[in-house]
């Protein structure tokens, strides 16, 4: 093994959302001179404009840094629960993780969830308490909690300020000292993944990918065994697809072409494969010649468990001619976000579109925004739903992922809905507020336990439907951002459900239909028409918004006509011209009203899905 290979360290930073991962990555980029100071901007690795606008990391981002003769491959990961698949894929490509905890917030739900993922992967964990510069920092209490969580003495926990750079150098040097080198021999294994071997045939794990119109699919890889050179022919084991390397290299963090990738390194391979669907994360790249050799008998790498979609929404192009573009856009986005699922759907009221599966409603929002920004698509987005189960009168069972698939009530024998185990972590001071929020939903079997003197973990069972829209925001706003949550699906349980429909100017708008519990239908109907009144743009004629259950109107609002002042440009008192113009406007309004055509902008759909 070369000296250089002995000096490779692959790691990522994990934490709850907003605890400072991207800011810490900034300091590492500066310290190692990877990004010159004058080019530096806060959260440098949040490279998508959408990430910068929302102040959150959506995509993982790898970067290769060099420091005192060491090669340090860092992967910055997102913190929000909807993007946890990004985290788990990053973890499989590295040997260690910095676990960052914000001293002003303490341990939160994704601190624990991401730590569990990292431990399962057998990674070495280096804990650090961040934001020690903040006047609100509770450094000792946070260290106390971390030492309980990790079962380690407090003095092993770093105290840093990612913002000011305090102790960041020491932390990086600890990464070099502690995190194992990825290359060695089979017996020299660490954690769940054995070390890579230079002499072995090439095996590279695809942990992410993106599309390039010139180079085809670019696979982000961790080269586990062997060495691979530019121009070589490759083979993807799971998708049984051949390719030829058009370019390979490192992330600096922009793509930096090289002649070869060595064992243990993290880099990219431009596969030359033009069909996005053929390159899947978790697949193993080997050399084409090895795929033909019986002697090699190569085993694919472990890959990833596909994440299960939690919520479903139908996405249709506003302009039916854009259907092809939408299909292409979703295929390309899936390459970059494999937790997105979609299948073709055709509904009379909506045309041709896709039923899409997401990990949560923030995920729906982000994908919708990306489709709009990156592909210039105006969309109709149905209200996100969980997947319900129906057993019909003939005892046939099926899953319904959108309100438009809901059966005729006369055919339904039983309906069921998914329940989850919800875990909320809150400082004791906010316990009352959290409890109140839980009282407003159908939570069952609430238990609480002290995590530490200052923090309580609440465990309960709730229908998934209750927490997918608005719940997280409520929890955050009622506890000033201190409480946090995580959940996992338990089972399907019987529920009395009905379909709530929305009529706008007398026309059914299928995209706003939703399945709701019978006893909540009135409340939901009222809320929905009220919200629609707020988010729909003013119209030239008055528009009725009606909520309907089983053919009965249960709630109504009216958007008042907001007349355009057609006579404003006319000075003086030319009465006949004024009257003519007003008559013309009246006729126009009547025609529009008769057609019942109301353009619903994408923004309105997004506002509705936020609850």
Comparing CB distances to ligand GTP, the nearer of 32 and 130 is: 130
226 in Cβ contact with 278 (< 8 Å): no
Instruction: Identify the residue among 10, 20, 172, 266 touching ligand GTP (CB under 6 A).
Output: 20
How far apart are the C-alpha atoms of 11 and 19, rounded to whole Å? Answer: 17
Tokens for 114, please give them: 């991401």
How far apart are the C-alpha atoms of 216 and 212, rounded to whole Å? Answer: 5
> Which range of residues in 129-137, 183-191, 244-252, 559-567 is near ligand GTP by CB under 6 A?
129-137
Comparing CB distances to ligand GTP, the nearer of 75 and 495 is: 75
Comparing CB distances to ligand GTP, the nearer of 56 and 72 is: 56
Minimal distance in Å, beta carbon 124 to ligand GTP? Answer: 20
27 binds ligand GTP (CB under 6 A): no
Tokens for 168, please give them: 């960041």
For residue 106, is it left (φ>0), alpha (ψ between -120 and 50) or beta? left
476 binds ligand GTP (CB under 6 A): no
Minimal distance in Å, beta carbon 537 to ligand GTP? Answer: 31
Minimal distance in Å, beta carbon 75 to ligand GTP? Answer: 12
18 binds ligand GTP (CB under 6 A): yes
Comparing CB distances to ligand GTP, the nearer of 110 and 404 is: 110
> Which range of residues in 10-18, 270-278, 393-401, 521-529 is near ligand GTP by CB under 6 A?
10-18
Tokens for 499, please give them: 């379909």
SS3 38: helix
89 binds ligand GTP (CB under 6 A): no
Tokens for 221, please give them: 């890889």
Minimal distance in Å, beta carbon 22 to ligand GTP? Answer: 3
Q: Is the dihedral of CA 97, 103, 107, 109 positive or negative?
A: negative
- How distant is the alpha carbon of residue 223 from its chain centre? 26
Most distant CA pair in the chain, distance: 97
Comparing CB distances to ligand GTP, the nearer of 21 and 593 is: 21
Instruction: Identify the residue among 131, 143, 203, 593 touching ligand GTP (CB under 6 A).
Output: 131
| Residue 560 burial (CB count, 10 A) | 11
Q: Which residue is nearest to ligand GTP (CB)?
A: 79
Cα distances (angstroms) measured from residue 403 to each of 22, 309, 338, 414:
39, 17, 25, 16
Comparing CB distances to ligand GTP, the nearer of 20 and 384 is: 20
User: Which residue is listed with tokens 């003197």?
Assistant: 453
228 binds ligand GTP (CB under 6 A): no
Which 531-550 residues touch ligand GTP, going by CB under 6 A? Answer: none
Comparing CB distances to ligand GTP, the nearer of 60 and 503 is: 60
How far apart are the C-alpha atoms of 251 and 62, rounded to whole Å? Answer: 6
134 binds ligand GTP (CB under 6 A): yes
Minimal distance in Å, beta carbon 333 to ligand GTP? Answer: 19
> Which residues make beta-bridge pairs with 97?
12, 125
Tokens for 386, please give them: 């969980």
Please choose, from the candidates 280, 380, 377, the residue with its C-alpha nearest in 3D space to the C-alpha of residue 334: 280
Comparing CB distances to ligand GTP, the nearer of 46 and 510 is: 46
How far apart are the C-alpha atoms of 557 and 5, rounded to whole Å? Answer: 68
Please choose, from the candidates 387, 400, 383, 389, the residue with its C-alpha nearest in 3D space to the C-alpha of residue 315: 383
80 in Cβ contact with 14 (< 8 Å): no
17 binds ligand GTP (CB under 6 A): yes
Comparing CB distances to ligand GTP, the nearer of 63 and 400 is: 63
Comparing CB distances to ligand GTP, the nearer of 79 and 226 is: 79
465 in Cβ contact with 442 (< 8 Å): no
SS3 29: helix
130 binds ligand GTP (CB under 6 A): yes
Binding mask 49-88 for ligand GTP (x = CB under 6 A): -------xx--------------------xx---------
Comparing CB distances to ligand GTP, the nearer of 8 and 162 is: 162
Binding mask 142-171 for ligand GTP (x = CB under 6 A): -------------------xxx--------
330 in Cβ contact with 277 (< 8 Å): no
User: Strand 484-494 vs strand 455-463: parallel, antiparallel, or unpaired?
Assistant: unpaired
Comparing CB distances to ligand GTP, the nearer of 64 and 163 is: 163
Tell me the DSSP string of 407-459.
PPGGGEEEEEEEEEEEEEEEEGGGHHHHHHHHHTTT-EEEEEEEEETTEEEEE
Instruction: Identify the residue among 32, 43, 167, 484 touching ligand GTP (CB under 6 A).
Output: 43
Instruction: Identify the residue among 5, 15, 341, 484 touching ligand GTP (CB under 6 A).
Output: 15
User: Which residue is listed with tokens 């019942």?
Assistant: 596
Instruction: Identify the residue among 47, 119, 125, 133 touching ligand GTP (CB under 6 A).
Output: 133
Minimal distance in Å, beta carbon 108 to ligand GTP? Answer: 11
> Which range of residues in 18-26, 150-158, 227-235, 361-369 is near ligand GTP by CB under 6 A?
18-26
* Interacting residues toward ligand GTP by CB under 6 A: 15, 17-23, 43, 56-57, 78-79, 130-131, 133-134, 161-163
């Amino acid at each position: 093994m070369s000296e250089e290979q002995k000096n490779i360290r692959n790691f990522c930073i994990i934490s709850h959302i907003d605890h400072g991962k991207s800011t810490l990555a900034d300091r590492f980029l500066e310290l190692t001179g990877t990004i010159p100071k004058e080019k530096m901007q806060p959260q440098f690795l949040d490279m998508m404009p959408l990430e910068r606008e929302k102040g959150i990391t959506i995509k993982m981002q790898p970067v290769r840094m060099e420091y005192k003769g060491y090669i340090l491959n860092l992967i910055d990961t997102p913190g929000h629960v909807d993007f946890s698949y990004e985290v788990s894929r990053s973890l499989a490509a590295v040997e260690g993780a910095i676990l960052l905890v914000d001293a002003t917030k303490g341990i939160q739900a994704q601190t624990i969830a991401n730590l569990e993922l990292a431990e399962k992967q057998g990674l070495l964990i280096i804990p650090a308490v961040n934001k020690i510069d903040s006047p609100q920092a509770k450094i000792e209490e946070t260290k106390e909690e971390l030492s309980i969580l990790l079962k380690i003495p407090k003095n092993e926990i770093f105290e840093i300020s990612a913002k000011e750079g305090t102790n960041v150098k020491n932390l990086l040097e600890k990464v070099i000292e502690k995190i194992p080198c990825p290359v060695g021999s089979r017996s020299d294994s660490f954690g769940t993944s054995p070390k890579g071997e230079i002499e072995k045939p090439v095996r590279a794990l695809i942990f992410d990918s993106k599309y390039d119109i010139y180079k085809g699919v670019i696979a982000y890889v961790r080269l586990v065994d062997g060495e691979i050179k530019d121009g070589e022919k490759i083979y993807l084991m799971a998708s049984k697809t051949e390719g030829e390397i058009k370019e390979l290299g490192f992330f600096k963090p922009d793509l930096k072409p090289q002649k070869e990738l060595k064992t243990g390194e993290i880099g990219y391979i431009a596969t030359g494969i033009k069909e996005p669907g053929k390159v899947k994360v978790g697949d193993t790249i080997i050399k084409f010649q090895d795929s033909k050799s019986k002697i090699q008998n190569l085993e694919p790498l472990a890959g990833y468990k596909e994440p299960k979609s939690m919520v479903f929404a139908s996405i249709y192009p506003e302009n039916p001619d854009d259907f092809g573009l939408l299909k292409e856009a979703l295929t390309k986005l899936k390459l970059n976000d494999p937790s997105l699922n979609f299948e073709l759907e055709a509904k009379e009221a909506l045309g041709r579109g896709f039923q899409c599966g997401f990990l949560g409603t923030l995920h729906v929002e982000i994908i919708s925004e990306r489709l709009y920004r990156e592909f210039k698509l105006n969309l109709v987005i149905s209200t996100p739903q969980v997947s319900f189960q129906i057993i019909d009168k003939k005892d046939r069972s099926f899953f319904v992922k959108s309100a438009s698939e809901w059966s005729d009530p006369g055919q339904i024998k039983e309906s069921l809905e998914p329940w989850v185990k919800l875990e909320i972590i809150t400082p004791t001071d906010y316990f009352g507020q959290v409890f109140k929020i839980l009282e407003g939903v159908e939570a069952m079997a609430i238990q609480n336990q002290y995590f530490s003197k200052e923090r309580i973990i609440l465990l309960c069972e709730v229908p998934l439907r209750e927490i997918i829209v608005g719940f997280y925001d409520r929890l955050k706003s009622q506890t000033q951002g201190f409480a946090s949550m995580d959940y996992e699906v338990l089972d399907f349980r019987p529920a009395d459900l009905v379909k709530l429909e929305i009529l706008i100017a007398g026309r059914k708008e299928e995209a706003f239909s939703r399945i709701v519990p019978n006893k909540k239908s009135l409340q939901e109907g009222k809320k929905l028409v009220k919200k629609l009144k707020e988010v729909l743009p003013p119209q030239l004629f008055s528009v009725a918004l009606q909520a309907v259950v089983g053919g009965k109107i249960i709630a109504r609002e009216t958007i008042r006509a907001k007349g355009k002042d057609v006579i404003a440009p006319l000075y003086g008192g030319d009465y006949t011209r004024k009257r003519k113009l007003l008559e013309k406007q009246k006729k126009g309004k009547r025609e529009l009203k008769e057609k019942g055509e109301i353009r619903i902008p994408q923004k309105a759909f997004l506002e509705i899905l936020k609850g």
